[in-house]
Amino acid sequence: MLHDSDKTYPFSAIDMLAGVDEVGRGPLAGPVVTAAVILSPDDPYLGKYRDSKKVAEKKRLKLYHHIRKHAVAYSVSMATIDEIDQLNILHATMLSMRRSVEGLAVTPVKVLVDGNRIPDLAVPAEAMIGGDDLVQEIAAASIVAKVIRDRMMAMFDSQFPGYQFGKHKGYGTKVHMEALLKLGPCPIHRKSFAPVAKLL
């Protein structure tokens, strides 16, 4: 879990709104990664954050480093492949989201979660469909989670050559499916997902 706990800020608790998003619910391989972010109201990039899928990689990395440096607090967590297979992807995602919120160094007054479900939290929370396009904190969380997960998949690419995880990030692309049929599942494939389960 990544978090930043060494900052103090002059603004009041009313400013402490956290955004939460996930990356990696759909892939056939790899963990699901979630992030929670509390932005500073003085952040000069406010208004520039977008859903990570709509931001070019170079710009996404720039925003990621800016968030890490200037956010009031951020936290990144994941649910493992085993947790996904044991709990199912929805419950594993909710577990990871809860971990991200609980990992924040600052307790938010409210949490806004992208999507239509919220995890079990000790603070007020609201689900927002399309939140990564509507709420800057959720968009920032989306960016952080995607950069972290993409880096993880690049590492898996070197550990499990042949699947090209660095390119498709575990999603069921044609290249991935061809590799899966040829090589069979590897340790980071989600055994509970139908295309993988059929090959076991």
- Looking at the DSSP assignment, which residues form a beta bridge with residue 36? 20, 75
Give pLDDT, residue 8.
43
Mention every residue, 6+ apart, whose C-beta is less than 8 A from residue 88: 192
2-150 adopts what CATH topology? Nucleotidyltransferase; domain 5 (3.30.420)
Q: Are 70 and 150 in contact (CB under 8 A)?
A: no
Measured in degrees and rounded to the nearest 5, phi and psi for residue 132 equal -70, -10
pTM exceeds 0.85 for this model: yes
Q: List the pLDDT tens digit at each of the 200 positions of the chain.
A: 554 444 444 444 446 899 999 999 999 999 999 999 999 999 999 999 999 999 999 999 999 999 999 999 999 999 999 999 999 999 999 999 999 999 999 999 999 999 999 999 999 999 999 999 999 999 999 999 999 999 999 999 999 999 999 999 999 999 999 999 999 999 999 999 999 999 98
The structural domains of the chain, with segments of one domain joined by +, span: 2-150
Parallel/antiparallel/unpaired status of strands 110-114 and 73-79: unpaired
The helix/strand/coil state of 93 is helix
